[in-house]
């Protein structure tokens, strides 16, 4: 099951108590205080992992508590520190205090860690409290409680290309053709019920990550349909691909569908609406598709690639075009960074 939002309570381990003890040995006839210190409690950390793609496991584990520190013992022996508890989360996980918009951490790189709750400090044993006036203290410190925090975890997929389209536009079919992903494909709307990610290989050591979300309908940004629940997953994409059904079953004009999709995206996020994008017409295998593609090109006022995701027509050329577009974008950004750095110097 795909879970992309969860609220959990995270608690650091309690520190161990200090010990009250005294020691008399052969060459220490007067002995003295010898109570060891308690160990610190374990901390709870989140670690971004590329082999985890959902927050499902955390949805079933609403309270996470790290191990407490062990108590101190006699002969000045300190207690063992509690083990840290590391929670594995998908890359792209946002961490916020529960009910707040303040971001504590944004785990965007594999292996990146964030300590959410630190363990409590262990108490000192009575050996630390001996003074000239009190050479046999009979008290020690208690361990401190660990930090406790309720956090909201939200997953936002990280991808190069976000597939945007109306229900039954063929996004899942396209993703399955260009990558090893196997999303559910059917001849009815809303076949896709959750986001799906696929990696597209160019064959020359370059890769693009595609993210497919459920189809968008009119009013999606206000909660209509399913796509609004997952629009967050294309917020991190650097490029949008609008996949347009050239011969929709309801007879609507492809240009109108494109206008609706762009409007819904912009209403959800103005910045996302300005993201670089490419319009692609799908289902060239259907009668009347060529005429509809020509009409769509006229409405867009530019070139619109045409493909058939089901039989592969034009798909290879589309993938090559996307690699070129994103390569040019990366080169432009790198050049801008160099020029910007030079200007600051």
pLDDT in tens, 41-67: 999 999 999 888 888 888 888 899 999
Sheet containing 85-90: order of strands: 85-90, 44-49, 113-117
CA distances (Å), 299 to each of 9, 128, 139, 321, in order?
52, 81, 83, 21
Quote the pLDDT of residue 112: 95
Residue 1's pLDDT is: 56
**The pLDDT of residue 314:** 94
Q: Kindly list the structural domains of the chain, giving each domain's residue range(s) and its CATH number in brackets, ordered by start.
A: 5-155 (2.70.210.12), 161-338 (3.40.50.300)
Query: Is the overall model pTM greater than 0.75, yes or no?
Result: no
Q: Is the pLDDT of residue 203 over 50?
A: yes
Q: What is the DSSP letter of 77?
A: B
Residue 226 pLDDT grade (very low, low, confident, very high; cuts 50, 70, 90): low
Residues 6+ apart with CB under 8 A from 86: 44, 45, 46, 47, 113
Question: Lowest-confidence range among 19-28, 195-204, 266-275?
Answer: 195-204
Q: What is the mean pLDDT of residues 143-160?
A: 92
Per-residue pLDDT at 330 exceeds 80: no
pLDDT in tens, 159-183: 889 999 988 888 888 988 888 766 5
């Amino acid at each position: 099951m795909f879970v992309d939002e969860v609220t959990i309570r995270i608690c650091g381990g309690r520190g161990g108590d200090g010990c009250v003890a005294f020691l008399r040995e052969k060459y220490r006839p007067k002995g003295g205080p010898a109570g060891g210190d308690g160990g610190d409690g374990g901390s709870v950390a989140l670690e971004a992992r590329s082999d985890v793609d959902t927050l499902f496991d955390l949805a079933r584990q609403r309270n996470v508590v790290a191990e407490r520190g062990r108590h101190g013992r006699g002969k000045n022996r300190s207690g063992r520190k509690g083990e840290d508890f590391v929670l594995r989360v998908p890359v792209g996980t946002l961490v916020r205090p529960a009910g707040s918009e303040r971001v504590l951490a944004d785990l965007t790189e594999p292996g990146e860690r964030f300590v959410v709750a630190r363990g409590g400090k262990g108490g000192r044993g009575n050996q630390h409290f001996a003074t000239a006036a009190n050479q046999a203290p009979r008290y020690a410190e208690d361990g401190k409680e660990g930090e406790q925090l309720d956090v909201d975890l939200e997953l936002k997929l990280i991808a190069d290309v976000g597939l945007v389209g109306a229900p039954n536009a063929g996004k899942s079919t396209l993703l399955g053709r260009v990558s090893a992903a196997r999303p559910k494909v059917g001849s009815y709307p809303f076949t896709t019920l959750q986001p799906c990610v696929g990696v597209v290989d160019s064959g020359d050591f370059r890769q693009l990550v595609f993210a497919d979300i459920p189809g968008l309908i009119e009013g999606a940004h206000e909660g209509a349909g399913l796509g609004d629940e997952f629009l967050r997953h294309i917020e991190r994409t650097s490029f949008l691909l609008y996949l347009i059904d050239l011969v929709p079953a309801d007879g609507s004009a492809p240009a109108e569908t494109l206008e609706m999709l762009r409007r819904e995206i912009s209403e959800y996020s103005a910045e996302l609406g300005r993201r670089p994008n490419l319009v692609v017409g799908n289902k060239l295998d259907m009668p009347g598709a060529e005429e509809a593609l020509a009409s769509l090109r006229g409405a867009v006022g530019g070139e619109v690639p045409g493909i058939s995701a089901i039989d592969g027509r034009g798909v290879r050329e589309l993938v090559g075009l996307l690699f070129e577009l994103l390569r040019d974008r990366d080169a432009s950004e790198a050049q801008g960074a160099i020029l910007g750095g030079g200007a600051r110097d």
